[in-house]
Amino acid sequence: MALQQKGMHGTWTSRWTFIMAATGSAVGLGNMWKFPYVAGSNGGGAFVLIYLGCILLIGVPVMMSEVLIGRNGRQSPINSMNEAVTHSNANALWRSVGWLGVLAGLLILSFYAVIAGWALDYIFLISSGELQGINGESAAAAFNTLLSDPSRLIFWQTIFMCLCVAVVVGGVKKGLGIAVETLMPLLFIMLLMLLGFAVFKGNFSAAVNFLFSFDLEALTWRGVLEAMGQAFFTLSIGMGAIMAYGAYMPQNANIGKTILIVAFFDSLVAIISGLIIFSIVFATPGIEPSAGPGLMFISLPVAFGSMPGGLLIGAVFFVLVSIAAWSSAISLLEPCVAWLMEAKHIGRAKANFVIAGIAWILGLGSVFSFNIWAEYKVAGFTFFDFLDFLTANIMLPISGLLITLFVGYVIKRDVIDFEMQGTSARVMQVWQLTIKYIAPFAIALVFIMGVYDKFFA
Residues that bind ligand PHE (CB under 6 A): 25-26, 28-31, 108, 233-234, 236, 239, 241, 328, 331-332
Nearer to ligand PHE, 172 or 239 (CB): 239
Rounded to a whole number of angstroms, the minimum distance from the CB of residue 329 to ligand PHE is 7
Rounded to a whole number of angstroms, the minimum distance from the CB of residue 337 to ligand PHE is 14
Rounded to a whole number of angstroms, the minimum distance from the CB of residue 75 to ligand PHE is 18
Nearer to ligand PHE, 396 or 416 (CB): 396
Rounded to a whole number of angstroms, the minimum distance from the CB of residue 104 to ligand PHE is 8
Nearer to ligand PHE, 242 or 253 (CB): 242
Judge contact between 11 and 249, C-beta under 8 A: yes
Nearer to ligand PHE, 287 or 402 (CB): 402
Rounded to a whole number of angstroms, the minimum distance from the CB of residue 401 to ligand PHE is 17
Rounded to a whole number of angstroms, the minimum distance from the CB of residue 110 to ligand PHE is 12
Rounded to a whole number of angstroms, the minimum distance from the CB of residue 422 to ligand PHE is 28
Nearer to ligand PHE, 23 or 306 (CB): 23
Nearer to ligand PHE, 310 or 335 (CB): 335
φ/ψ (deg, to 5) at 173? -80, -50
Rounded to a whole number of angstroms, the minimum distance from the CB of residue 328 to ligand PHE is 4
Nearer to ligand PHE, 329 or 446 (CB): 329
Nearer to ligand PHE, 165 or 239 (CB): 239
Residue nearest to ligand PHE (CB): 30
